[in-house]
Amino acid sequence: MRIGPALLEVHNVVKHYRLPRERLLAAPPVVHALQGVSFTLQAGRSLGVVGESGCGKSTLARLVMALETPTAGRVLMGGRDLNALTPAELRRARADFQMVFQDPFGSLDPRQTVGRIVAEPLEAQGGVPAEAMRIRAAETLDAVGLRAADLAKYPHEFSGGQRQRIAIARALVTKPKLIVADEPVSALDVSVQAQVLNLMQDLQDTLGVTYLFISHDLAVVDLVCDEVIVLYQGRIVEQGDPDTLFHAAAHPYTRLLMSAVPQARPGTRRAQRIPIEPVAAPGGCAFAPRCAFRQHRCLAEPPALRALGAGHQAACHEAERVLGALPA
């Protein structure tokens, strides 16, 4: 596949949320959802973002989609800062990036026909005649394996896998350059997951779509992504291609995630589960309280993301020792 120039650039993005005050005169607590996340996604590639619930994956997706504004940092799409655009410019720019949501049962309006649902992004752009929208919607449904006759039906008439195909069609109808997929198969049965993932790969091969794939499932990311970043408490702790992360994970947290999905690489040995111990790490590595490899330095000095090899980075003081502890 031909790889294009940088399509999406995320530069040192920070996102904080202020929560309601617990007491009248108390300062409102702050949640640090993202803390300096940076990466580049080239056109025609797929980037996976993995981590536990609460690590910042969905927050990152909302910032990339310009549904929220970062506290600091920039999100560039095709070289343009999304948060510097006027509302009218942002509306036009949204034709280039669309989103597929997690729940195919909740993301489709049950009161609207499939034709109206799929054509909605075109309608939001404005200036497209009704007949042209209908034709485009029919063509897009055909691209995802459904029929033009399905335009007149309602979401409740379809299975979960078919509903997610409708959601993908809605994302594709504007012919976007980027699709942000936030846990697109987690609500589906395993057999249906495979069908949807194969569809997404086929669409990338034929249409050249770029994916930002948000998931907690390393096995899914391994199947569809060219590169993976691992988030922990709002920071990137490791980055590399799936082969590297599955065979030579250099961060203990990545190994912990791998231990939860031993079926991701049949025939490989399961990584040893890392114990959770109540050790405070003020100012140090956020993962230190859970890490079997921690040293005194880890409790006092936060590790920076550093290169370990071609395209492989990890934020761990003891990365070399972690690599040396991998089973043969």
Query: What DSSP letter does each residue of 209-227 carry, written as one string?
Result: -EEEEE-S-HHHHHHH-SE
How many structural domains are present in the chain?
2
pLDDT tens across 231-259, in order?
Answer: 999 999 999 999 988 888 999 999 988 87
pLDDT score of 3: 57
Q: What residues contact residue 239 under an 8 Å CB cut-off, 6+ apart?
A: 39, 227, 228, 229, 230, 305, 311, 312, 313, 314
One domain for residues 161 and 250: no
* 1 occurs within a structural domain: no
How many residues belong to the chain?
Answer: 328
CB 310 within 8 A of CB 326: no
Report pLDDT digits (tens) over 72-93. 999 999 999 999 999 999 999 9
Identify the pLDDT of residue 193.
Answer: 84
The string of pLDDT tens digits covering residues 163-195 is 989 999 999 999 999 999 988 888 778 878 888
The phi, psi pair for 216, rounded to 5°, reads -100, -5
66 and 173 housed in the same domain: yes
Same domain, 227 and 249: no
Q: What is the pLDDT of residue 87?
A: 92
- Residue 279: what pLDDT? 41
The burial class, CB within 10 Å (0-12 / 13-18 / 19+), for 243 is exposed
Q: Does one domain contain both 229 and 247?
A: no
Asked if 165 contacts 104 with a C-beta cutoff of 8 angstroms, the reply is no
Q: Which domain holds residue 268?
A: 242-328
61: in domain:
yes
Last residue of a domain, one of 233, 251, 279: 233
pLDDT confidence of residue 36: 94
Segments of the chain scoring below 70 in pLDDT: 1-4, 260-282, 326-328
In a domain, 105, yes or no: yes
> How many CB atoms are closer than 10 A to CB 246?
21
Domain shared by 196 and 260, yes or no = no
Residues 165 and 292 in one domain: no
Q: Are 274 and 157 in the same domain?
A: no
The predicted structure's pLDDT at residue 327 = 62
Q: What is the pLDDT of residue 249?
A: 92
The domain boundary, picked from 233, 263, 280, lies at 233
> Is residue 199 situated within a structural domain?
yes
CATH code, domain with 63: 3.40.50.300
Q: Pick from 233, 259, 278: which residue ends a domain?
A: 233
pLDDT of residue 276: 42
Residue 242, amino acid? P
> Same domain, yes or no, for 131 and 274?
no
